[in-house]
Structure 1
């Protein structure tokens, strides 16, 4: 779990250091502009941007029942973030598994990607799709409406 927060914490720390240096140099206005940018960047790269993650086994069970795709992701992944943002409100209709929080999820991704933890990996009807187009993922939700 801690691994998912390393990048956001580093961004806040770096932003704080930069802002402090600017304040020491008498440029408080610039510091007030820089720090929120680092905090925003940290927020976007944090697990908070994504719908609540569940375990891989639970996600697979739920997917078998409701037919919704399972998205295996990790924080700090720009492709996962792209998928999340482009899905918009429909992202909440998918089952999300953070592979850094769930070892079973990481194992599923490695099995689907020749031993690599390549994300996002979206499993639809038991078939994995690596870094699929967000429009395609949205289409997979259409029959479920």
Structure 2
């Protein structure tokens, strides 16, 4: 995605995080675009995730409507994606 295209999700995570890998796999399987913020490669952005969620847990997924989820289950994430009209 180029900067000109707004993705519907900003995904704060890390490769070592099992929940992050699981949520990424679900988004990839459902072909939902997202901007991935690798908190290992860019640790300064961890404060952004904390400010948005009020928690230090990851993943933090921020949606274009301003809502967010922290460590969602696949079911929670899929339900939210459906509610936002990002999947059928």
Q: What TM-score range do you get, normalising by the shorter chain?
A: 0.5 to 0.7
CA RMSD of aligned residues (A): 2.9
Higher relative contact order (CA 8 A, sep 6+): 2
Task: Answer yes or no: is the 8 Å Cα contact 2:7–2:35 preserved in 1.
Answer: no
Task: Count how many residue pairs are aligned between Structure 1 and Structure 2.
Answer: 81
Structure number with larger C-alpha Rg: 1
Structure 1: distance between partners of 2:31 and 2:69: 18
Q: Which has the higher helix share?
A: 1
Aligned partner of 1:84 in structure 2 is: 24
Structure 1, residues 47-105: CA drift from partner, whole Å, max 9, x if none? xxxxxxxxxxx9xx76xx635111111111110111122231515x1111111222342
Superposed structure 1 runs of 4+ greater than 6 Å apart = none
1:1-145 correspondence runs (5 A): 66=6, 68-87=8-27, 88=29, 90-91=31-32, 93-114=33-54, 116=56, 118-124=57-63, 125-132=65-72, 133-136=76-79, 138-139=81-82, 140=84, 141-142=86-87
TM-score (norm 1): 0.44
Point out where structure 1 has 5 or more consecutive residues left out of the alignment.
Answer: 1-57
Q: Which has the higher strand share?
A: 2
Task: Answer yes or no: is the 8 Å Cα contact 2:30–2:87 preserved in 1.
Answer: no
